[in-house]
Structure 1
Amino acid sequence: MDSSTKEAGTGSSWDRDGLYRMERHLDTLSSELSVIKAELWCYEICEEGRSAVKAAQRDAVQRCLFLEVQMEELYEKVKQKRNHEAAIEQLRESRSHRQRLEEEILDLQEQLRKVPEMTAEEEISNMATIQTLSRKQGSAAGAPGSTVQVQTGEQWGASVHRERQPSQRFIQRNEGLRHQSRRWSKALVTKGLEEQHQRLKDEEKALTEQNKGLIKTHSEMVKRLIVEEEWIYKCHVAERKRDELVQENQQLKEKVRDKQGRRCLRDLEFDFKTLSTDEKFLTKERNSLKKEVQMLMKQEAKEKDWTTKTDSIKVKNEALSREIRQLHQKH
């Protein structure tokens, strides 16, 4: 009875200790699992923020490149348009100048046609008159030289005056035409400049509208870049927090490991103590069992002696009973 009660007590103590150790191990595992879940959550948040920022940054870079390409194309188109308009203006000016020159040439030709031209016969007659006058000057002996010279000079001046009158009229008309052409050219130049000024104003308005759109897109891009920089800063902060959490988790893991090691040492010490007590109890029980076995062996030997003695007595009794039966049968 004593041995059975002792064995039952040791079994219950073993069950309680194992359950306690399992509960502590489950607590450590749950704490490690919560730490790992927190790390994974931080990693997921950082990865999501980083991926979102990278995607937004890629979109912003692509939009910036697209806008730069569009701006370059617009600048090229504006340059081509300006060059084309300048070439058109030069052509217009050259055409207008050519037309003016052609008109002046036609006017001059008409005026020259209206002027009475000298024929070859008239030129020959004039030369003949001049020669005759010069001969008369040389052949006139009695006449004084001053009178002949005066007559010839007057005649020559009159003829020259008659011949110069149409040329002077032509020169005056030419001067008037030149003055008029200058006035017309100034008017045309002012008109062309006004048209060019108006065209430049229209281009300036279009460019200002385009510049407003580009400024708007630039402001939007700046806002997006500011938002992206804020997200990048948030990602850096999240990464720092993640690193700090990783370090804290490492420290917690080390602490948990230290605690687990200490608990393992305590468990081992407790197990050693329990095993030592169990060993002592088992040694005592073994000694008691040895004593009981020895006693039982002695009893068994005694019982064997008794059985042999009883068997011999039984044999003697049977022999006596036979002899008694034989005696009864004789009588």
Structure 2
Amino acid sequence: MTSNAGDAAGRPLAIEARGLVKRFDGITAVDGVDLAVPEGAIYGILGPNGAGKTTTLRMLLGIIDPDAGVRRVLGHDRPHEVAHTIGYLPEERGLYPAMKAYEAIAFLGALRGLPLAEGRKRGKALLEEHGLGYAVDRQIRQLSKGMAQQVQLLGTLVHNPRLVVFDEPFSGLDALNQGKLEKMIRGLAAQGTTVIFSTHVIAHAERLCDEVAIIAGGRVPFAGPVDVARDRIRPQVRLETRANDGPWRSALPGDARHEGAFWNFSLPESGIEPLLRALIEGEAGILSLSIERAGLHDAFVAIAGEAAARALEQDSPEEPGR
């Protein structure tokens, strides 16, 4: 059965999931996850190791079945029916060591229905395009870990999928190759490809994603646009005045703190204009005023809690059934 469901804005969905539940040995790894990934979006699943990210992705792709809930991928209830249009990079990297780089790419494409001859041709072209032409005929065992990971990444894309799913794709990459991968993800989205990736690194999600699902303890307390997540916290105002006191002081919000030469406080619900008027009329002498919107890290803390935020910053391997 197929579905043409869309999100609240009427955009068609590449992935839709409702109430996904998965248990391992009596332990609930994913507990009622809802997701709606618009076509052509860059969508991040953000959470600490052990939060349920990998299990969620595997259920979406049909690698494992949920114990409860439903999911649709590219309009299909059975993800295997559209596997040839999906590219998947698992967290566990692995290629046959004796294969040459271009053959490894062709092999991964063949698993998705791409003829081997075409895969070999595309594999060589992709290696050249991404600055790895010198590695075309090298065996995987002759490549560095980072190079082998890039080969597997290209194998994920060789069949020109409509949907690409990356599980912790930045893990193990140096800063240069992380930047290359970010550029590649933006390029895929620009071509209309839907990209969904899991990560425990907030910076990647903040730079790349249109929307995110924040997952902690197997649940999703927030799923939606990054801007909406950031708006959970009021912007912060930083004010410097020439005068130290005066009638304008009564116009400052109740949470205003005088720290050094500056006043710091949350942007009032009425906006900045009434406060500016009071400062000017009260002759505060405004030397500087800036409004800083909350970042995704602050939003994550507010939504998922400090314990989940601390876990997010730890660089520990995920447990089985994550």
Q: Which has the larger strand fraction? A: 2
Decide which structure has the larger Cα Rg and report it. 1
Is TM > 0.5 for Structure 1 vs Structure 2?
A: no
Task: Compute the TM-score of the two structures, normalised by the length of structure 1.
Answer: 0.16
Structure having greater relative contact order (Cα 8 Å, sep ≥ 6): 1
